[in-house]
Amino acid sequence: MSKRPILEMYGIHKRFYGFAALSNVSIRLFPGEVHALMGENGAGKSTLIKVLTGVYRIDEGRILLDDRELRVANPHEAQEAGIATVYQEVNLCPNLTVAENIFIGREPRRFGRILWKEMNRQADELLRSRLHVSIDVTQPLGSYSVAIQQLVAIARALSISARILILDEPTSSLDRHEVEQLFAVMRSLKEQGLAILFVTHFLDQVYEISDRITILRSGELVGEYLTSELSRIELVKHMIGKDLQVLNQLTERTDRSAARGQEPFLEAQGLGRSRQIEAFHLTIHRGEIVGFAGLLGSGRTEAARLLFGADRADRGHLRIAGEGRHPIEAPSQAIRQGIAFCSENRKTEGIIADLSVRENIILALQARRGWFRALSRKRQEEIADEYIRRINIHPKDPEIPVRNLSGGNQQKVLLARWLLMEPKLFILDEPTRGIDIGAKTEIQKLVLDLSDKGMAVLFISSELEEVIRVSDRIAVLRDRRLISMMEREEISQENVMKAIAGG
Amino acid sequence: MWTRISKHHLFWPLVALLLLLLFNAVYNPGFFAIRVQSGHLYGSLIDILNFGSPLMLVAIGMTLVIATGGIDLSVGSMVAISGAMACLMISRSADQNSLGAVILAIALALGLSILLGLWNGLLVAGAGIQPIIATLILMVAGRGIAQLITSGQIITINSDPYRYIGMGWLLMLPFSIFIVAIVWLFTAWITRKTALGLFIESVGANPTASRLAGIGSRTVLLAVYMFCALCAGIAGLIVSSNVSGADGNNAGLWYELDAILAVVIGGTALTGGRFYLSGTIVGALIIQTLTTTIYTIGVPPEITLVVKALVVFAVCLIQSENFRGLFLSARRSRRVPADREVSRHA
């Protein structure tokens, strides 16, 4: 293996609105290696990547590519220099076809005319030969699942003759099989001499695929380690910078069924929506955590959206707090009934990126109060400060636009928005996706505390362990149907897996 | 301190306005002079405020529409309709100078404007038609409606109370300036002291997330299009009052484009989200100053549009951060540090 790094970044500094997102960070990438970039939310991982790909300009520091100063002013120049990136949340155009997405801006042409057939052929071949995916590349990207979209994004990066491939949380929405597929691709690229920078929160995956680890904490470099020489415990310690007490706080749960109220808060009777989710029955009691387990596309999210009125059910009805009513028709109606919903798509369905942290936090409360009962600026600031402190949002300035926060902190802003409403039922769809261990634990703990105080929770996650850990009962979904409802006694990793897999 | 000033959203629009005014002052030394004549203030600056008032009104309404991520192309036609409606009512009344008749005419004209705004809002929020198409319908049909109201003629009236709207004086200043001030203050109050502004920005920046946060975006959109139409209606009163007549064909022609331009110059993005009312006012003043300049320096009529386009182009360049970056890059946006900084961090 070559000892000379292909890319070196030294003494990188980057400040936003007076807080340092990166201070004196360095990292080296070697050809033929998978380099894992680790750190908690707000550690500066995303910022570092954006600096490297020309989205942000650095305030201080040097970037060397092949021992030569690299100057990239925008992502396009970074691509030209051989740095390809696949971001956490798919950054493609859902209304263009798969082939168009792969070749956009670089379409095969003759005399300025785009060779559509050639383009489709190349796209198909690329996906087939390098990613082992065979799909109709002439269909709009949006008609495929998030997992496929992710693979297309990777295919796009591959089609550019990249020397450095950056994968920012590529696996957060892939199922196990798809992750295997991705890793196979990564290994073969590694053998071809590519340097791969891999960002993830899954420790297993880091140890499975990476050769080298760089750890960041609060915008500062902790160190660079060989994966084979760093134990998991050490890694986690370096990331969160404190002992593992936080992790141990989530010990095995005591039997809470006694604490759970017997009074149902929400009853769905034959609720369903054609082509989305078949009619299902579901009861959630006060103070109870119901988990949804199932694969991607099993109908988890679709079912939850009906309960909140994000989509309209076309059959069945809901009883909330013992009152029978027709399906909820709009989110505002659900909110008045005391239901809150955190969507899995943080960027498109959660935060309002342009608005400040303060405005994002008070948004739902203000919406319930209406136009004219405006919260005074002073009250808004009190609320924002309180929640920034309570759930530990970083940076602490409530006036920063939410777009400048890390993914995990954006998630916390959304949690704050809904906690402020004091909901009776909180629907959390993938609340910990793309979030580091520390924040993940914090969020799980928060959920448990809230349910102890009588809040009903519907918890959706692709991480089975997590669902099992927090849930009192688990509903298993498969192929857009709710297929079984498990009581606490029956819940075990094996049972749930069996139910998900079917047979 | 300097960066704080130059980062303020009003900084570059004000620079552009100041440059335009200075150009005028150089060309015409008496440009800034304001004299008192029979108890009224006269001068080029007063004229700009006075003649610019319809545009400022239309642009205020347009700002809110654009902030929701929409656009209203029909404001020019609504200016014509409102003026035509008011003039028709006054011309039909027995005594054109009766205050009651004028007030009734104004109420009807503004009521009709709000109704037209409701129509736009229903198409956008109810039927889900893209705003540019939805309002294009009324932009085209509106001219026809205005002509229908005036029966294809130019209605002239002779009404002192009505003339006061556009030509009257109050506290030494043209009355129309007060109308703009009131509408501006009202808009600022309703958007910033109630939650309406937050909802508008939120719906404009991310409609899906806003819906999931429980904001009734439909109501917000309806209100905004109705308010924009009301602003256009008031502008229509001033325009028709200035000439004491209604011309269905030409009143408010191309106002929509000037208004959109004023909003954009003022710093509100066409993609929706954050909006800046004071920026819009400055933007409208830039456009009005430009128009005045072109008349006073005697640009031949056949090339006035070209000159206007060139100045607008220049204003947009001054505002473009990327363009300014071309000149400032050496000094400000250094991508690579000096050697001694590197050694310090190595």
Instruction: Report the pLDDT value the prediction gives residue A118, as an integer from 0 to 100.
Output: 86
Probe site for chain A from B211, B212, B345 (most A CB atoms < 10 A) = B212
- Based on the domain organization, do A373 and A282 belong to the same domain? no
Distance separating the N- and C-terminal Cα atoms of chain A = 46
Residues A405, A415: contact at Cβ < 8 Å?
no
* Model confidence pLDDT, tens digit, residues B231-289: 999 999 999 988 878 887 888 788 888 898 899 888 888 888 889 999 999 999 988 88
Count CB-CB contacts under 10 A for residue A392.
14
Instruction: Report the pLDDT value the prediction gives residue B344, as an integer from 0 to 100.
Output: 38
* Model confidence pLDDT, tens digit, residues A43-69: 888 888 888 888 888 888 888 888 888
Is residue A250 one of the residues assigned to a domain? no
Is residue B29 one of the residues assigned to a domain? no
- Based on the domain organization, do A45 and A164 belong to the same domain? yes
Residue B346 scores a pLDDT above 60: no
A332 and B209 within 8 Å at the Cβ level: the answer is no
Q: Using only the alpha carbons of chain A, give its radius of gyration.
A: 23
How many whole angstroms separate alpha carbon A39 and alpha carbon A26?
14
Looking at residue A458, which CATH number applies to its domain? 3.40.50.300
How many whole angstroms separate alpha carbon B76 and alpha carbon B143?
9
Instruction: Report the pLDDT value the prediction gives residue A503, as an integer from 0 to 100.
Output: 54
Residue A502 scores a pLDDT above 70: no
Looking at residue B184, which CATH number applies to its domain? 1.10.3470
Of A13, A24, A355, the CB nearest to B201: A355
Is residue A449 one of the residues assigned to a domain? yes
Q: Which two tokens stand for residue B344?
A: 């310090």
Is residue B103 one of the residues assigned to a domain? yes
B219: closest chain A residue by CA = A371
Of A308, A352, A371, the CB nearest to B206: A352
CA distance A233 to chain B (A): 30
Residue A174 scores a pLDDT above 80: no
> How distant is the alpha carbon of residue B208 from its chain centre?
28
A417: closest chain B residue by CA = B213
B336 and A71 within 8 Å at the Cβ level: the answer is yes
- Based on the domain organization, do A182 and A325 belong to the same domain? no
Number of structural domains (chain B) is 1
Residues B70, B117: contact at Cβ < 8 Å?
no
Is residue B333 one of the residues assigned to a domain? no
Instruction: Report the pLDDT value the prediction gives residue B292, as an integer from 0 to 100.
Output: 82
Residue B330 scores a pLDDT above 70: no
Question: In sequence order, which residues have a C-beta less than 8 Å from that of residue B69 and are 6 or more positions away?
Answer: B131, B203, B204, B205, B207, B271, B272, B273
Mean pLDDT calculated for residue range B97-122: 90
How many whole angstroms separate alpha carbon B316 and alpha carbon B310?
10
How many whole angstroms separate alpha carbon A464 and alpha carbon A482?
16
A350 and B209 within 8 Å at the Cβ level: the answer is yes
Tokens 């600031």 correspond to what residue?
A: A381
Question: In sequence order, which residues have a C-beta less than 8 Å from that of residue B156 and are 6 or more positions away?
Answer: B87, B91, B244, B245
* Model confidence pLDDT, tens digit, residues B213-232: 888 888 899 999 999 999 99
The number of C-beta contacts closer than 8 angstroms across A and B is 104
Q: Report DSSP state, residue A255.
A: P
A372: closest chain B residue by CA = B194
Q: Which two tokens stand for residue A496?
A: 């749930």
A74: closest chain B residue by CA = B335
- Based on the domain organization, do A389 and A288 belong to the same domain? no
Residue A342 phi/psi, 5-degree rounding, is: -105, 110
Q: If DSSP codes are grouped into helix, strand and coil, which group holds residue B226? A: helix
Residue B36 phi/psi, 5-degree rounding, is: -100, 130
- Based on the domain organization, do A72 and A221 belong to the same domain? yes
Q: How confident is the model at residue B332 (pLDDT cuts 50, 70, 90)?
A: very low
* Model confidence pLDDT, tens digit, residues B54-69: 999 999 999 999 999 8
User: What are residue B84's DSSP bridge partners?
Assistant: none
Q: What percent of chain A has pLDDT over 90?
A: 4
A9: closest chain B residue by CA = B346
How many whole angstroms separate alpha carbon A483 and alpha carbon A470?
20
- Counted residue by residue, chain A has a size of 503
How many whole angstroms separate alpha carbon A355 and alpha carbon A343?
18
Q: If DSSP codes are grouped into helix, strand and coil, which group holds residue A239? A: helix
Is residue A84 one of the residues assigned to a domain? yes
Probe site for chain B from A60, A372, A402, A419 (most B CB atoms < 10 A) = A60
Crossing angle for the helix pair B217-243 and B53-67, to the nearest 10 degrees: 170
Is residue A29 one of the residues assigned to a domain? yes
Domain range for B150 is 47-301
Q: From chain A, pick out residues whose CB is under 8 angstroms from the CB of B344.
A: 11
A364: closest chain B residue by CA = B213
* Model confidence pLDDT, tens digit, residues A460-489: 987 777 888 888 889 988 778 888 888 888
Mean pLDDT calculated for residue range A170-196: 79
Q: Report DSSP state, residue B126.
A: I
How many angstroms separate the Cα of B264 from the Cα of each of B74, B143, B235, B257, B340? 17, 25, 20, 11, 43
Q: How confident is the model at residue A422 (pLDDT cuts 50, 70, 90)?
A: confident
Q: How confident is the model at residue A450 (pLDDT cuts 50, 70, 90)?
A: confident
Residue A258 scores a pLDDT above 60: no
Of B213, B273, B335, the CB nearest to A354: B273
- Based on the domain organization, do A51 and A174 belong to the same domain? yes
The candidate with the shortest Cα–Cα distance to B145, out of B88, B230, B226, B227, is B88
Is residue B121 one of the residues assigned to a domain? yes
Of B193, B214, B336, the CB nearest to A368: B214
* Model confidence pLDDT, tens digit, residues A358-413: 999 988 888 888 888 888 888 888 988 888 888 888 888 888 888 888 878 888 89
How many whole angstroms separate alpha carbon A153 and alpha carbon A175?
16
- Based on the domain organization, do A412 and A429 belong to the same domain? no
CA distance B283 to chain A (A): 22
Q: How confident is the model at residue B338 (pLDDT cuts 50, 70, 90)?
A: very low
What is the overall mean pLDDT for chain A? 82
**Residue A412 class from Cβ within 10 Å (0-12 exposed, 13-18 middle, 19+ buried)?**
buried
Q: From chain A, pick out residues whose CB is under 8 angstroms from the CB of B214.
A: 331-332, 335, 364, 367-368
How many whole angstroms separate alpha carbon A254 and alpha carbon A276?
36
A352 and B209 within 8 Å at the Cβ level: the answer is yes
- Based on the domain organization, do A55 and A90 belong to the same domain? yes
B202: closest chain A residue by CA = A352
For residues B17-50, one letter each, b for 16 or more C-beta atoms within 10 angstroms of the residue's C-beta and e for the rest, the string is beebbebbeeeeeebeeeeeeeeeeebbbbbbbb
Residue B323 scores a pLDDT above 80: no
Instruction: Report the pLDDT value the prediction gives residue A259, as an integer from 0 to 100.
Output: 52
Residue A60 phi/psi, 5-degree rounding, is: -145, 160
Q: How confident is the model at residue A172 (pLDDT cuts 50, 70, 90)?
A: low
For residues B103-133, one letter each, b for 16 or more C-beta atoms within 10 angstroms of the residue's C-beta and e for the rest, the string is eebbeebbebbbebbbbbbbbbbeeebebee
Domain range for A492 is 263-338+424-503
Q: From chain B, pick out residues whose CB is under 8 angstroms from the CB of A380.
A: none
Is residue A356 one of the residues assigned to a domain? yes
Residue with the larger pLDDT of the pair B209 and A76: B209
Instruction: Report the pLDDT value the prediction gives residue B10, as an integer from 0 to 100.
Output: 80
- Based on the domain organization, do A417 and A441 belong to the same domain? no
- Based on the domain organization, do A270 and A187 belong to the same domain? no
Residues A170, A91: contact at Cβ < 8 Å?
no
**Boundary-marking domain end, from A422, A446, A461:** A422
Is residue B331 one of the residues assigned to a domain? no
- Counted residue by residue, chain B has a size of 346
Residues B79, B256: contact at Cβ < 8 Å?
no
- Based on the domain organization, do A408 and A440 belong to the same domain? no
* Model confidence pLDDT, tens digit, residues B152-178: 788 888 888 888 887 888 888 888 999
How many whole angstroms separate alpha carbon B249 and alpha carbon A178?
64
B208: closest chain A residue by CA = A349
Q: Which two tokens stand for residue B312?
A: 């607008």
Instruction: Report the pLDDT value the prediction gives residue A261, as an integer from 0 to 100.
Output: 61
Q: From chain A, pick out residues whose CB is under 8 angstroms from the CB of B210.
A: 352, 363
Residue with the larger pLDDT of the pair A452 and A503: A452
Q: Which amino acid, one-letter code, is at B216?
A: G
Alpha helices in A401-492 (DSSP H): 407-419, 437-452, 464-470
How many whole angstroms separate alpha carbon A200 and alpha carbon A188?
19
CA distance A207 to chain B (A): 30
Residues A196, A190: contact at Cβ < 8 Å?
yes
- Based on the domain organization, do A26 and A109 belong to the same domain? yes
Probe site for chain B from A365, A371, A379 (most B CB atoms < 10 A) = A371
A11 and B213 within 8 Å at the Cβ level: the answer is no
Instruction: Report the pLDDT value the prediction gives residue A260, as an integer from 0 to 100.
Output: 58
What is the number of alpha carbons within 13 Å of residue A136 lying toward its C-beta? Answer: 6
Instruction: Report the pLDDT value the prediction gives residue A251, as an integer from 0 to 100.
Output: 44
Number of structural domains (chain A) is 3
Q: How confident is the model at residue B334 (pLDDT cuts 50, 70, 90)?
A: very low
Q: From chain B, pick out residues whose CB is under 8 angstroms from the CB of A368.
A: 214
Instruction: Report the pLDDT value the prediction gives residue A18, as an integer from 0 to 100.
Output: 65
Q: Which two tokens stand for residue B147?
A: 């002509």
Is residue A1 one of the residues assigned to a domain? no
User: What are residue A325's DSSP bridge partners?
Assistant: A318
